[in-house]
A and B are shown apart, each in its own frame.
Chain A
Amino acid sequence: MSTTLKRVHGYLAEFDNPQDLYHAAEHVRDQGYQRWDVHTPFPVHGMDVAMGNPRSKLPWLVFFGGATGFTVAFLMQFLTQVIIYPTVVQGKPTDIYTLPAFFPVMFELTILFSAFTTLFGLLALIGLPRLNHPLFASKRFPKFSDDGFFVCIEARDAKFTKEGTKSFLEGIGGKNIELVEDEI
C-alpha cells in the first residue's frame, strides 16, 4: 500500500453573499495577506478595490497587438500592390497614393490582431488553461459557479499559519472553513 503525500494548498472559507464577502476581502487585504483570492459566480463590482488589486495590464498588450496588425496589413498591401505586383485597375494609382484603398484591410487586421491578443493575453495573465487545480479537490468549492462565495488564502503566503489563518477567517465571519490539500 502506498501512502499519498499531501501538501497544504490553503484555507477555503465560505460566505453567504457578496456583501459579506466584500467586507471579508477588505479585512484580508488589511491583514496584509498577498497570496489569496475570492471565488465568485460573477464579478463582484468593486472587489478589486476591496482586494487592493492593481489594474489589468491587458490593454497595453492589446495596443501592441493592434499596432502589429496595422503594420502587417500595411506592409502586406504595400509590398504586393506597389512593389511586387502593381496592377493598373479601377483608375487607382499604383504608387503610395493608392493608400486610401488599403484602409479597410488595415482596419480589419488591426481589430483581428487585437482580438487575438485579447484572448491569448487574457489566458496568459490568468494562467489558464490548466487541467487541474488543488481547489477542485474541495467538495464545497464547485459551488463557486452556482451561488457560493469563497475566500481562499494560500499556504505559500508569508503570513499563513495553520492556526492563525483559520482563526482569522473565523473571526471575519467565514463558514465551512476547510483546509484544502493537494496530492503530490
Chain B
Amino acid sequence: MEATSHASAPTPSEPRILEREPLVLNNRSYSWITNRICGIVENKQPFLWWILFVPSVILTGVTVFCFTYLISTGVGVWGQKQPVAWAWDITNFVFWIGIGHAGTLISAILFLTRQKWRTSVNRAAEAMTLFAVMCAGLFPGFHVGRVWMVWFLAPIPNANAIWQNFKSPLLWDVFAVSTYFTVSVIFWFIGLVPDLATLRDRCKPGLRKMLYGMFALGWRGGNRHWSHYETAYMLLAALSTPLVLSVHSVVSFDFATSVVPGWHTTIFPPYFVAGAIFGGFAMVLTLMIPARKIYGLQDLITAKHIDNMAKIILLTGTIVGYAYSMEFFMAYYSANKYELQTFQLRGLYGPSVWYYYCMFGFNVFAPQLFWSRWCRHNLWVVMFVCMCVNAGMWFERYVIIVTTLERHLTPGSWRTFSPTWVDIWTFVGTFGLFMMLFLLFLRFLPVIAIGEVKGVLPQSDPHYDPDREKGIQEEDLMDYPDRHVAKPGTAAATA
C-alpha cells in the first residue's frame, strides 16, 4: 500500500500536501479563548476606548440637535430644492444601509458556504449591521417632513380610511428595511445566547449576573438544545441570504422603477448589492483592525481573515467597476440621448464631475492594490484602501442620486446642489452614533462568538486524534485516498 511508504519515509517524488492555515493561531485552548474574549467585557476598558467614546457621544448629541432643529423648523433646513429633492439624506440612507450588508453576508452567506473563518468576525459584523441600519433608518424617517406622521407608513386602519400605496417601491423599502433590521436582530440574538451564558457563568452574583442570565434565557448547552439551535441558526442563515440580496435590490428599485435617465436601468439591483457588500467589508475591516490590536485578538482574527476580506473587497470592487463602465456603455449603446447626456454630465463635463472621479478612483482603482499579497498583509495599506472605499461608496450614492437630479429632463429647472451646515453635521453626527453604539457593544457583549470559535478548533472534532500529523485533516485527504496518512503505531504504519 502507498499509505505504508508515506508514513514510514516520505519519498522525494511525493507531492507535498499544503497545510491548511489554522483558524486560531498558537494552538490556543478553550479557556484561553473564553478568558480573552470575556476579559474585554470584564476588565476595565483601555484609555483609548474613552478617547473614542467621549467624542462619539458628543457627535451623537450633534445629530440629535440637528434633527431637533429640523423638526422645530422644517425640512427646508436641509439643502434640498427642486429639482434635487433627494440629496444628502437619501445618500446617507443608502450609504448606511449598504454598510450593514457585509454583516449579513458574513453571518448568513459565509455560513451556508461553510466558510469557517467567519466565526471570529461574524459577531462584530452583525453588530455593525444593526448599528448601521439604525443610522440609515433615521434619514428617510426625518425626510418625510412631518416625522410625527411617520406611522402612516404602516398599514394601520386610520380615521381617513385611506391605505398605503403598495405598488410603490418606497413602501416596499419600508417593508424591506424593517424586515432586514428585525431579522438581523433575531439572528444576532440567537447567536449571542450561548455566549451570554458564558458571561453569566463567570459573573459574581449581582445585577450583571442577573441581566446576563436573563438574556441568556437559562441556556445550559445541552446537546438536545444545540441540536435545535443549530437547525434554527441554519434556517436563519438560509432566510437572511435572500433577504440581504433583496434589501439593497429594493433600495435600488426606489431609483430603477422611475423613468429618470441615469436611474432607469436593470443593472441597478446587482450593482447595488455588490456595492453594499463592498462598502460593508471595508467598514468591517475599519473597525476590526484597530479592535484586534487594542484588545489583543491577533490569534483569533488572523492575517488570513484580513486577507480573505481584502479579496472580497477586490472582487466586489471590480464588480462595481464593471457596473460603472457598463452604465456608460449602455448609455451610449441604447442610443437614448437623454441617458447619454446624463452620463456625459455625470462623468465628463457636469457641475459635479469631481464626485464621479472620487467615486471611480476610490472604489475601482484603490482596491486593485489587493492583487498583491504584500498589500493584503500590510495593515496600513489595508486601512488606507478601506478608508478610500468608505469614502468612495458615499460618493457613489451621491453621484447616483444628486448628480442625476441636478440635471433633470427640463434644463429650465437645473440647479446645482449645495449642502447646508445641517446636512453636514447630521451626517457627521451619525458616525458618532454608530461609533458610540459599537463601543458600547465592545464594552458589554462578547465581540467574538466564543462558542463558534471553539467549535472550529481542530480538537473540537469528536474524531480528532492528537497523534495524527497536525494540519492534515480527514477531509483534506478525501479527494486523494491513495495519499492517506497512516496513523503512527498502527499496523499499516509498521508493516
Q: Are B224 and A37 in contact (CB under 8 A)?
A: yes
Asked if B86 is an interface residue, CB under 8 A from chain A, the answer is no
Report the bound CA distance from A172 to B186 in whole Å: 40
A22 to B450, CA, bound (A): 21
Question: Which of the residues A43, A102, A112, A132 comes within 8 Å of B455, measured between beta carbons?
Answer: A43
0/1 interface trace, chain A 126-161, chain B, CB 8 Å (1 if under): 101111110100000011111100001000000000
A146 touches B34 (CB 8 A): yes
> B-side binding surface: helix, strand, loop or mixed?
helix
Verify A50–B250 contact, CB threshold 8 A. no
**Does B460 lie at the interface of the complex (its beta carbon under 8 Å from any beta carbon of A)?**
yes
Tell me the A91-144 residues at the B interface (CB within 8 Å): 92, 98, 101-102, 104-105, 107-109, 111-112, 114-116, 118-119, 121-123, 125-126, 128-133, 135, 142-144
Kindly list chain B residues whose C-beta atoms are within 8 Å of the C-beta of A80.
155, 163-164, 166
B338: interface (CB < 8 Å): no
Cα A50 to Cα B461 with chains together (Å): 13
By the criterion CB–CB under 8 Å, are A59 and B224 in contact? no
CB pair A132 B218 closer than 8 Å: yes
Which of B238-246, B305-313, B420-428 lies at the interface? Answer: B238-246
Neighbouring B residues of A108 by C-beta, 8 Å: 172, 175-176, 179, 243, 246, 250
Q: Does B163 contact A122, Cβ atoms closer than 8 Å?
A: no
A56 contacts chain B at the CB level, 8 A cutoff: yes
Does residue A51 face the partner (Cβ distance < 8 Å to B)? yes
User: Contact at A126–B235, with CB atoms within 8 Å?
Assistant: no
Closest to B258 in A: A90
B197: contacting residue among A43, A145, A152, CB under 8 A: A145
Q: Are B166 and A129 in contact (CB under 8 A)?
A: no
Does B217 lie within 8 Å of A123, measured CB to CB? yes
- With A41-B30, A53-B227, A115-B183 in contact, do A131 and B218 touch (Cβ < 8 Å)? yes
Complex CA distance for A111 and B182, rounded to whole angstroms: 10
Q: Which residue of A lies closest to B30 (CB)?
A: A147
Residue contact B218 to A18, C-beta cutoff 8 Å: no
CB distance from A142 to the nearest CB of B (A): 4
Give the shortest distance, in Å, between A158 (CB) and chain B (any CB).
Answer: 18
Which residues B169-193 have CB closer than 8 A to chain A? Answer: 169, 171-172, 175-176, 179, 182-183, 186-187, 189-190
Min distance, Cβ A53 to any Cβ of chain B, angstroms: 5
Structural contact, B223 and A53, CB atoms closer than 8 A: yes
CB of B7, distance to nearest CB on chain A (Å): 22
A8: interface (CB < 8 Å): no
Residues from chain B with Cβ under 8 Å of A133 in the complex? 218, 220
A46 to B167, CA, bound (A): 48
Q: What chain A residues lie within 8 Å of B197 (beta carbons)?
A: 145
Question: Taking the complex as formed, is A6 at the interface, i.e. its CB lies under 8 A from any CB of chain B?
Answer: no
| A71 surroundings in chain B (CB, below 8 A) | none
A residues near B186, Cβ cutoff 8 Å: 115-116, 118-119
B358 to chain A, nearest CB (A): 32
A21 vs B221: C-alpha distance in the bound complex, in angstroms? 14
- For B462, the closest partner residue in chain A by CB is A22
CB-contact partner of A104 in B175, B459, B463, under 8 A: B175
Say yes or no for A13: interface residue by CB 8 A criterion: no
B167, B253, B461: which contacts A89 (Cβ < 8 A)?
B167
> What is the interface size of chain A, counting residues whose CB is below 8 A from a CB of the partner?
70
Q: Which B residue's beta carbon lies closest to that of A101?
A: B167
Please, how many angstroms separate the alpha-carbon atoms of A132 and B217 in the complex? 9
Q: Is the CB of A122 within 8 A of B462?
A: no
Interface hits, B462-487 → A, CB 8 Å? 462-464
Q: Do A104 and B253 contact each other (CB < 8 Å), given the known contacts A18-B459, A43-B226?
A: yes
**How far does the alpha carbon of A46 sit from the alpha carbon of B31 in the complex, in Å?**
23
B29 pairs with A43, CB closer than 8 A = no
Please report the C-alpha to C-alpha distance between residue A48 and residue B230 in the assembled complex, in whole angstroms.
Answer: 11
Instruction: Determine the chain B residues whose CB is within 8 A of the CB of A68 once the complex forms.
Output: none
State whether the Cβ of B118 lies closer than 8 Å to any Cβ in chain A. no
- A147 pairs with B31, CB closer than 8 A: yes
- Structural contact, A41 and B451, CB atoms closer than 8 A: yes
Contact with A along B184-206 (1 / 0, CB 8 A): 00110110001001101110000
Are A111 and B239 also in contact (CB < 8 A) when A46-B462, A104-B176, A119-B186 are?
Answer: yes
Measured in the bound complex, the distance between the Cα atoms of B225 and A42 in whole Å is 11
Partner of B235, one of A45, A58, A135: A58
**Is B168 located at the chain interface by the 8 A CB criterion?**
yes
With a cutoff of 8 Å between Cβ atoms, the chain B residues found around residue A46 in the complex are 462-463
Chain B residue at minimum C-beta to C-beta distance from A66: B239
B-contacting residues, A18-34, CB 8 Å: 18-19, 21-22, 25
| Bound form: Cα–Cα A98–B190 in Å | 38
Contacts of A90 in B (CB 8 A): 167-168
Rounded to whole Å, the gap between the CB of A50 and the closest CB of chain B is: 7
Flag if B461 contacts A112 (CB, 8 Å): no
Q: Does A167 contact B (CB under 8 A)?
A: no
Are B198 and A146 in contact, with the CB atoms below 8 A?
yes
B121 to chain A, nearest CB (A): 17
Q: For residue A104, which residues in chain B have a CB less than 8 angstroms away from its CB?
A: 169, 172, 175-176, 246, 250, 253
How distant is the Cα of A101 from the Cα of B55 in the complex, in angstroms?
Answer: 45
Return A88 CB to nearest CB of chain B, in Å. Answer: 10
B180 to chain A, nearest CB (A): 8
Residues of B within 8 A of A (CB): 29-31, 34, 155, 161-169, 171-172, 175-176, 179, 182-183, 186-187, 189-190, 194, 197-198, 200-202, 214, 217-232, 235-236, 239, 242-243, 246, 250, 253, 450-452, 454-455, 459-464
Selected A-B contacts with CB under 8 Å, 6 pairs: A21-B462, A25-B223, A38-B223, A107-B246, A122-B232, A145-B221
Besides A18-B459, A40-B226, 6 new A-B residue pairs in contact (Cβ under 8 A), listed by A number:
A47-B462, A50-B462, A53-B223, A101-B167, A115-B239, A129-B214
